[in-house]
């Protein structure tokens, strides 16, 4: 057999096709998707709450509203309400100018401070971007107020040494930016990416299992009714989810040093995650057979952006945002952010994950019912 003949064989041509196809898919999906960083940072919402009764607070609030690169900045909201929305990741940053800001500034006896509150239990790019923006704001305000303080208190040139030291300290400490982090995430990239890694670990396994279990379903046609075989497939997926969920939860708790209470919560979600992902990826396999895996890979790649681990929904381009509403990975990742690092209810995300799984299973039932013709069952 000549090499040219080998290249024309089914296996070689298929390998060539897959190499080109997945290179195009990965680059064509990832590169456009990640151009949203930092281009779509203006799509995030923040709140500026000015409780200061003096002029300084109003000037700062107006100046920040004009200069900050966000299309929607909430100002007609209380600080408590804004913090609640921050917990839900509806806001990316809350800037609060306290009631005594102008008074403290005028007295010069205490540092005037502004509170910048951000939530780390969410998309990675949000926390990092907000930290950078807050650092820039604080640097500008510190320089501005130090200059104003200097003009006010150094008008006398002949001052004693001790008094000069006090004045210098007042200049240096005239403004301090108070950065508050809620749901503080432990250091380490393994913590930031844990929600995505937990989800993907079972999604990939479920995707491969969809090909194998649907193949077993087809191979055993005639040995049992298609209804019974479908039930067997579902039960097998649940059993695999229980075992794989147990292993993955144990690894996550051990490596990330999580509390023992989280073990069973992660395990339970992993079981639901596996079953949902299995039915979600099995749709195209039930429809077109093993060739469905060719479509499942691009669908997976889209979800790695649409799951909200790195980019929040507000920053996604339309196709990725639309995908997030039907993506099992999105609901799973957000549930883990809320459960492991956050303080909000995990129920809406788990319900969303369960609904995606139920709808996917119903679609699979319809495919099996209408497209897979019943075969006579051989008597044993």
106 is a domain residue: yes
Cis check: omega of the bond before 333, within 30 degrees of 0: no
Q: Do 158 and 209 sit in the same domain of this protein?
A: no
Distances (CA, A) of 285 to 13, 272, 301: 22, 20, 17
* Average pLDDT estimate for 77-103: 91
Judgement on whether residues 228 and 322 belong to the same structural domain of the protein = yes
175 and 206 in one domain? no
Residue 292 and residue 233 in one domain: yes
Question: What does the pLDDT look like over 276-324, one tens digit per residue?
Answer: 999 999 999 999 988 888 899 999 999 999 999 999 999 999 999 999 9
Please check whether residues 160 and 199 belong to one and the same domain.
no
Query: What distances in angstroms separate CA 49 from CA 217, 225, 329, 337, one per listed residue?
Result: 60, 65, 35, 27
In this structure, are 153 and 294 located in the same domain?
no
- The domain total for the chain is 2
Q: Are residues 120 and 225 in the same domain?
A: no
Q: Share the mean pLDDT of the chain.
A: 85
Percent of the chain with pLDDT over 90: 47
pLDDT value, residue 48 = 94
Q: Are residues 143 and 193 in the same domain?
A: no
* Cβ–Cβ under 8 Å, residues 335 and 353: yes
Mean pLDDT in residue range 186-192: 85
Task: Name beta bridge partners: 119.
Answer: 182
pLDDT digits (tens, 9 = 90+) for 240-255: 999 999 999 999 999 9
Residue 19, in any domain of the structure:
no
Q: What is the pLDDT of residue 335?
A: 96
Q: What pTM did the predictor assign?
A: 0.85
Pair (49, 162) in one structural domain = yes
* pLDDT score of 33: 87
pLDDT of amino acid 342: 86
Domain that holds residue 164: 44-182
Band of pLDDT at residue 1, cut at 50, 70 and 90: low
Among 118, 148, 182, where does a domain finish? 182
Among 182, 213, 242, give the residue marking a domain's end.
Answer: 182
Residue 324 lies in a domain: yes
Provide, rounded to the nearest whole percent, the portion of the chain with pLDDT above 70.
Answer: 87
Of the segments 11-20, 166-175, 329-338, which one has the largest average pLDDT value?
329-338
What are the pLDDT digits (tens) for 127-138? Answer: 888 988 888 888
């Amino acid at each position: 057999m000549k090499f040219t003949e080998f290249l024309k064989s089914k296996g070689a041509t298929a390998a060539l096709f897959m190499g080109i196809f997945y290179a195009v898919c990965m680059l064509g999906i990832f590169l456009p998707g990640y151009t949203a960083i930092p281009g779509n940072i203006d799509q995030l919402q923040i709140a500026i709450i000015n409780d200061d009764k003096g002029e300084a607070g109003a000037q700062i609030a107006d100046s920040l509203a004009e200069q900050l690169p966000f299309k929607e900045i909430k100002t007609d909201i209380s600080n408590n309400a804004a913090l609640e929305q921050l917990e839900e990741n509806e806001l990316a940053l809350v800037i609060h100018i306290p009631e005594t800001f102008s008074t403290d500034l005028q007295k010069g006896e205490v540092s005037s401070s502004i509170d910048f509150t951000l939530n780390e239990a969410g998309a990675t790019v949000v926390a990092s971007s907000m930290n950078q923006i807050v650092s820039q704001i604080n640097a500008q305000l510190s320089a501005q107020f130090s200059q104003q303080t200097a003009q006010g208190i150094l008008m006398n040139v002949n001052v004693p040494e001790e008094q000069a030291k006090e004045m210098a300290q007042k200049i240096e400490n005239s403004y301090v930016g108070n950065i508050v982090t809620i749901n503080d995430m432990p250091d380490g990239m393994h913590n930031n990416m844990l929600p995505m890694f937990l989800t993907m670990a079972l999604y990939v396994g479920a995707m491969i299992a969809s090909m194998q279990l649907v193949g077993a379903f087809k191979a055993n046609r005639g040995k049992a009714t298609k209804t019974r075989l479908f039930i067997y497939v579902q039960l097998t997926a649940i059993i695999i989810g229980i075992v794989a969920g147990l292993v993955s939860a144990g690894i996550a708790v051990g490596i990330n040093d999580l509390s023992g209470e989280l073990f069973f919560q992660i395990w339970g979600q992993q079981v639901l995650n596996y079953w949902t992902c299995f039915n979600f990826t099995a749709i195209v396999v039930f429809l077109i057979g093993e060739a469905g895996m060719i479509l499942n890979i691009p669908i997976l790649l889209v979800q790695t952006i649409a799951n909200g681990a790195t980019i929040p929904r507000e920053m996604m381009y339309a196709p990725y945002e639309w995908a997030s509403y039907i993506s099992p990975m999105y609901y799973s990742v957000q549930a883990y952010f809320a459960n492991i690092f956050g303080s909000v209810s995990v129920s809406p995300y788990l319900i969303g994950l369960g609904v995606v799984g139920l709808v996917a299973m119903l679609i699979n039932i319809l495919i099996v019912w209408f497209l897979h013709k019943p075969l006579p069952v051989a008597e044993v």
